[in-house]
Structure 1
Amino acid sequence: MDAMQYEVNLPADYDMGIIRRRVELNGARTDDFEGLGIKAYLVQDQANGAAVNQYAPFYLWNDTAGMSRFLWGGGFFSGICQSFGRPVVRHWAGAEAMAGPDVDQPAVGATKSMQLLPPDVDPAGPVTEALEELRRTAAMPGVHSSAIAVDPARWELVHFTLWSGEPGIVPGTRYQVLHLSTPGTKDLFGS
């Protein structure tokens, strides 16, 4: 598994309805994308209390060939580049993804928390702790699914969770899910 995200920051006065319509028209295009586990079409909207207006899709890939085809195979990421310029694409090596009790329910929210690992610490310890936290999170009511991944260039850990309702008091950045493509969840969750 690989995790990936790009963030398109938008002006404070940007009409987020444009992004919503874009996802309504194009979201289903990834519903059967080969190699994709999950794509969450995420936004932060100042009109709903977010600090910024942002379009920030988050992906969990079952294979790098699918991720590569999406990024430079034409027709998918090309649309983002044409509309907004080419954003930086963050990439993390997946540690584990788990289905939650609400995996069969629509995901309406997402949270993402990041942790930089101290430079003098063996990553095995913090990653093991994060995987234990993943198991606790994935068992919580309202969790659709959750994943842990690590960027070994920066030694940064990301914990991403999809929710079927309001996540409550959970640390990290909060997003609204506009559409969720789940073509490869059986492979992603090993079920």
Structure 2
Amino acid sequence: MNSKRKLILASNSPRRQQLLKDAGFDFQVKASDVDESFPTDMPSLEVAKFLAEKKALALESIVTDEIIIAADTIVIIENQILGKPQDKDEAMRMLQKLSAREHIVATGVCLLSKNKKISFTDSTVVTFRSISEKEIDYYIEHYKPYDKAGAYGIQEWIGMIGIEKINGSYFNVVGLPIHKVYNELLNF
């Protein structure tokens, strides 16, 4: 589906790029480095949207007639936010924490043009079976999930063998609730 207006994806994520492409959108990629800090007293379910807005606003000055699409995905367990792991030890701790439990994956999205801004969050509940230390180690060694919130990709090996169920959008867990993005762009 081609939008009459040019789209700019404010993300280097290959997964977000693939989802937009698979949904039929033509777009350019222009990401900027944004400080991903947020107020410590912010409710965890609002953080992803806050960060998506930060990413969109960082590119606001280049917008003429385009629509910027910015997104951020976080993993929440017991009100604690799991971002991207810094190293193998942190990835191991995150996956051990997620093992045999359910957590929330929240993706915030911001659509921004010269005169309009729409922001929203989509949440999916994900349940992992008990994952052994050997399985976690294998996954980290072979998939290097350092660019993924919560240290895992649902579309990768650990998702295939470890996720028992999800309640919500699979694509949201991949990194972009494409069904909502599509509908919001139609209304934009």
Scaled by the length of structure 2, what TM-score is found? 0.28
Scaled by the length of structure 1, what TM-score is found? 0.28
Q: Which has the higher helix share?
A: 2
Larger RCO, structures 1/2 (Cα 8 Å, 6+ apart): 1
Q: Which has the higher strand share?
A: 1
